[in-house]
């Protein structure tokens, strides 16, 4: 009797055996008994016998036939993710499947989607630049085989236009395209563009904002081949594709591509492997490629395609100037030079954007009499003052409390908000520019259905003079009347201990600067700083990402940081920090001993130790060789899985971590 080996959503690194009369197809969804419950799993292997004694081997429930079996290539990607990210296959599969397909009730059949047609209609776009043509030709000639490309194009250089042409070429070959963006916010704009340029072509969306049934249907349409283009966020990388012809990862440097809980995968890196499995090209696009990607390009593993100029001849790159706040001291957050520049825009009927990557009114509420500070009880963080709603909010765990009328410690009624968030900046801008129409855009003001789209429309229609906003504004949007970007306070990021902080700051500022002057009006960027001589700011003024990236890579190599080394952390969480540290100290004693090519560091608390009531600590593992690191981790984790973690301690491995 055949044995079906089934992946289940269980934190154990193994498949579960079930006896069956006839072998189900590999990749089939099945309903199986597990303990007292019936659960949905996926058949990963068929074996002739089981190590489980016959009397304990339970029969397979039934095969769920409302969906076709998952393709072999899909299982291969899940297996790769399981091995690479050191997570049980069952958990990877459960995390990848749309929620609706983890339930047994059959998905009602729907009228068959349009069958794939060879005649792709393509609405022509703007005239292409020589650099765009060269990139498109390079990518078209790569269709039909695996090759990784970095499309490094300055803001406004027309990367999207290159994507559209490559998608067209892939569709004309009868294959499908997968397009990944870092945030849901970016999907409506790109979806609209895809629908305009590919009229009649079926496009499937894949992101967490979709209703369960819609997401499952999109998934099935992609698997059947009816959907020719799949557009989505990081989870879209797991969409099964009938005939994948090209993978595009836009804003590939964005940290949102890394999943931060459960299976901690990088959708960008899995996208590269998915393309490898499908033998098709992958395009990683960015104005500021991640250092990992840039290093791969320098080492010729990825092919570098440059778009050095803006696509519209009349839209020059903005000039970047530094405002030295030691000499030009800000009042209410804005230096006189910035106030003057905004005033000039107002006089000319142009738009300004004041960028501050900190939402809320003030980041800290404190008592000047006794030194009390409003802290989150569940996180190592201050509560942020939201003055409009008179609330204190933790931006990490969501804890909320009313703003106290008096100091809870000494009764002083004069509590002081310290520092400046977007709300406070908005207030001072409204007070200063009384006739201007000011719009604040951050995740607080943009919350709610349709709010974000309505705000974008207002900006485009010219109903706004001054925008105040966080990075939510920085990505991928064109504002033709916007000619000034003022960066209110970026210096805090220079002090961060995280070795990735300079890379992130550069990318963020470059991106927000790129919003200025994208149409015929020239753009200007003013950065307020106390450290104008800092290399990051100097590189921004010079507009020289490559020099900055090379310097960063040298620094990382000298300091022994990625991408010069591969790294992972074993992270432990407990209610008491000591318990987490004690578990890690024990775990180290269980680590493989004979490993010259992997270095293990001492357990330490994370930079922000407490999050949502859990104290967090980790052990860093580094190796010059990615494979050596993988082997080391597998061996180590197998031992840890075999033991039971102490009560109240949970642990996981994070490969290529971005949070320390
Ligand atoms: Zn007090
Ligand atoms: Zn909190």
Q: What average pLDDT does the segment 235-248 reach? A: 98
Helices vs. strands in the chain: H and E counts, helices first: 16, 28
Which ligand has the nearest atom to the CA of 413? 1
Q: Which run of H or E residues covers position 202?
A: none
Q: What confidence tens digit (pLDDT) does each residue in 566-613 have?
A: 999 999 999 999 999 999 999 999 999 866 788 999 999 999 999 999
Distance 384 CA to ligand 1 centre (A): 17
Distance 567 CA to ligand 2 centre (A): 28
Distance 658 CA to ligand 1 centre (A): 37
Distance 508 CA to ligand 2 centre (A): 25
Q: Which of 97, 100, 123 is nearest to 192 (CA)?
A: 123
Distance 378 CA to ligand 2 centre (A): 5
Q: Which of 469, 413, 414 is nearest to 438 (CA)?
A: 469
Kindly tell me if the per-residue pLDDT of 111 is higher than 70.
no
Kindly tell me if the per-residue pLDDT of 319 is higher than 90.
yes
Q: How far is CA 414 from CA 374, 406, 510, 589, in A?
A: 14, 7, 40, 53
Distance 181 CA to ligand 2 centre (A): 28
Distance 375 CA to ligand 2 centre (A): 8
- In eight-state DSSP terms, residue 362 is B
Distance 389 CA to ligand 1 centre (A): 22
Distance 359 CA to ligand 1 centre (A): 25
Distance 268 CA to ligand 1 centre (A): 48
Which ligand has the nearest atom to the CA of 614? 2
Q: If pLDDT is split at 50, 70 and 90, which confidence band does 120 have?
A: confident
Q: What average pLDDT does the segment 213-220 reach? A: 97
Beta carbons of 349 and 358 less than 8 angstroms apart: no
Distance 184 CA to ligand 2 centre (A): 24
Beta carbons of 59 and 256 less than 8 angstroms apart: no
Which ligand has the nearest atom to the CA of 377? 2
Distance 376 CA to ligand 2 centre (A): 5
Distance 383 CA to ligand 2 centre (A): 8
Return the pLDDT at 644: 86
Q: Which run of H or E residues covers position 604?
A: strand 604-611
Distance 424 CA to ligand 1 centre (A): 23
Distance 307 CA to ligand 1 centre (A): 57
Beta carbons of 361 and 386 less than 8 angstroms apart: yes
Distance 403 CA to ligand 1 centre (A): 14
Which ligand has the nearest atom to the CA of 611? 2
Q: What confidence tens digit (pLDDT) does each residue in 194-211 have?
A: 999 999 999 999 999 999
Determine phi and psi for 448, rounding to 5 degrees: 110, 145
Return the pLDDT at 113: 52
Distance 613 CA to ligand 2 centre (A): 8
Distance 377 CA to ligand 1 centre (A): 17
Distance 387 CA to ligand 1 centre (A): 19
What is the average pLDDT score of the chain? 94
CA distance 204 to 40: 25
Kindly tell me if the per-residue pLDDT of 256 is higher than 90.
yes
Which ligand has the nearest atom to the CA of 612? 2
Which ligand has the nearest atom to the CA of 404? 1
Q: What confidence tens digit (pLDDT) does each residue in 334-391 have?
A: 999 999 999 999 999 999 999 999 999 999 999 999 999 999 999 999 999 999 899 9
Q: Which of 477, 490, 559 is nearest to 291 (CA)?
A: 559
Dihedral Cα 595, 598, 604, 610, nearest 10 deg = -120
Distance 402 CA to ligand 1 centre (A): 16
Which ligand has the nearest atom to the CA of 370? 1
Distance 384 CA to ligand 2 centre (A): 10
Distance 426 CA to ligand 1 centre (A): 28
Which ligand has the nearest atom to the CA of 416? 1
Which ligand has the nearest atom to the CA of 401? 2
Kindly tell me if the per-residue pLDDT of 327 is higher than 80.
yes
Distance 408 CA to ligand 1 centre (A): 7
Distance 417 CA to ligand 1 centre (A): 13
Return the pLDDT at 446: 87
Residue ranges of E strands in 500-603: 524-529, 566-574, 598-600
Distance 416 CA to ligand 1 centre (A): 10
Distance 380 CA to ligand 1 centre (A): 20
Kindly tell me if the per-residue pLDDT of 110 is higher than 80.
no
Return the pLDDT at 133: 98
Beta carbons of 480 and 274 less than 8 angstroms apart: no
Q: Which residues of 101-113 are buried (b: 16+ CB within 10 A; e: fewer)?
A: bbeeeebeeeeeb
Q: Which residues surround ligand 1, an ion (CB under 5 A)?
A: 367, 369-370, 372, 407, 409-410, 412
Kindly tell me if the per-residue pLDDT of 508 is higher than 70.
yes
Dihedral Cα 501, 502, 505, 511, nearest 10 deg = -130
Distance 365 CA to ligand 1 centre (A): 11
Distance 394 CA to ligand 2 centre (A): 5
Distance 419 CA to ligand 1 centre (A): 18
Kindly tell me if the per-residue pLDDT of 521 is higher than 90.
no
Distance 260 CA to ligand 2 centre (A): 17
Return the pLDDT at 492: 84
Dihedral Cα 601, 603, 609, 612, nearest 10 deg = 110
Distance 388 CA to ligand 1 centre (A): 23
Q: Which residues of 304-337 are buried (b: 16+ CB within 10 A; e: fewer)?
A: bbebebbbbeebebbebebbebeeeebeebbbeb
Which ligand has the nearest atom to the CA of 414? 1
Kindly tell me if the per-residue pLDDT of 35 is higher than 80.
yes
Distance 369 CA to ligand 1 centre (A): 5
């Amino acid at each position: 009797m055949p044995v079906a080996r089934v992946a289940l959503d269980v934190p154990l690194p193994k498949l579960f055996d079930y006896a069956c009369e006839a072998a189900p197809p590999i990749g089939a969804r099945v309903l199986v008994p597990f303990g007292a419950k019936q659960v949905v799993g996926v058949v990963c292997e068929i074996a002739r016998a089981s190590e489980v004694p016959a009397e304990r081997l339970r029969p397979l429930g039934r095969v769920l036939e409302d969906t076709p079996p998952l393709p072999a290539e899909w299982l291969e990607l899940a297996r790769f993710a399981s091995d690479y990210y050191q997570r049980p296959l069952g958990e990877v599969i459960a995390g990848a499947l749309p929620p609706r397909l983890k339930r047994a009730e059959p998905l009602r059949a729907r009228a068959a989607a349009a069958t794939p047609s060879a005649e792709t209609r393509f609405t022509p776009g703007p005239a292409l630049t020589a650099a765009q043509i060269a990139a498109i030709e390079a990518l078209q000639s790569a269709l039909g085989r695996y090759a990784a490309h970095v499309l490094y194009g300055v803001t406004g250089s027309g990367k999207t236009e290159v994507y559209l042409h490559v998608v067209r070429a892939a569709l004309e070959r009868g294959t499908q395209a997968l397009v990944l963006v870092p945030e849901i916010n970016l999907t409506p704009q790109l979806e609209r563009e895809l629908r305009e340029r590919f009229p009649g072509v079926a496009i499937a969306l894949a992101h967490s904002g979709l209703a369960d049934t819609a997401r499952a249907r999109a998934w099935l349409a992609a698997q059947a081949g009816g959907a020719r283009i799949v557009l989505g966020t990081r989870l879209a990388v797991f969409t099964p594709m009938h005939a994948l012809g090209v993978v595009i990862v836009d804003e590939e440097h964005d940290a949102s591509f890394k999943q931060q809980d459960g299976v901690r995968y990088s959708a960008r890196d899995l996208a590269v492997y998915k393309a490898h499995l499908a033998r098709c090209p992958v395009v990683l696009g960015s104005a500021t490629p991640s250092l990992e990607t840039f290093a791969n390009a320098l080492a010729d593993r990825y092919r570098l395609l440059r778009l050095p100029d803006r696509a519209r001849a009349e839209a020059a790159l903005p000039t970047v100037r530094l405002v030295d706040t030691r000499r030009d001291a800000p009042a209410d957050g804005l230096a006189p030079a910035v106030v003057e520049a905004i005033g000039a825009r107002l006089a000319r009927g142009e738009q300004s954007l004041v960028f501050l990557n900190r939402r809320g009114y003030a980041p800290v509420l404190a008592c000047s009499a006794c030194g009390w500070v409003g802290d989150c009880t569940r996180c190592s963080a201050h509560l942020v003052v939201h003055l409009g709603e008179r609330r204190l909010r933790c931006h990490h765990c969501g804890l909320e409390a009313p703003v106290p009328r008096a100091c809870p410690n000494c009764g002083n009624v004069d509590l002081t908000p310290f520092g400046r968030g977007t709300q406070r900046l908005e207030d001072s801008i409204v007070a200063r520019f009384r006739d201007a129409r000011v719009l604040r855009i951050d995740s607080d003001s943009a919350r709610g259905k349709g709010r974000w789209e309505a705000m974008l429309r207002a900006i485009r229609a010219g109903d706004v003079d001054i925008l105040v906003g966080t990075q939510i504004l920085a990505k991928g949007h064109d504002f033709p009347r916007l000619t000034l970007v003022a960066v209110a306070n970026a210096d805090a990021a220079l002090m961060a201990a995280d070795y990735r902080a300079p890379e992130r700051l550069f990318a963020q500022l470059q991106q927000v600067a790129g919003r200025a002057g994208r149409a015929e009006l020239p753009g200007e960027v003013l950065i307020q700083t106390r450290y104008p001589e800092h290399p990051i700011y100097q590189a921004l003024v010079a507009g020289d990402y490559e020099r900055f990236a090379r310097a960063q890579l040298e620094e990382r190599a000298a300091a022994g940081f990625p991408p010069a080394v591969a790294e992972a952390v074993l992270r432990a969480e407990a209610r008491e920090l000591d318990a987490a540290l004690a578990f890690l100290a024990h775990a180290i004693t269980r680590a493989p001993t004979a490993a010259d090519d992997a270095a293990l560091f001492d357990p330490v608390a994370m930079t922000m130790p407490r999050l949502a009531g859990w104290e967090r600590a980790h052990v860093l593992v580094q190796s010059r060789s990615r494979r050596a690191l993988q082997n080391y981790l597998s061996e180590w984790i197998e031992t840890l899985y075999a033991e039971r973690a102490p009560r109240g301690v949970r642990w996981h491995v994070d490969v290529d971590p971005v949070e320390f």
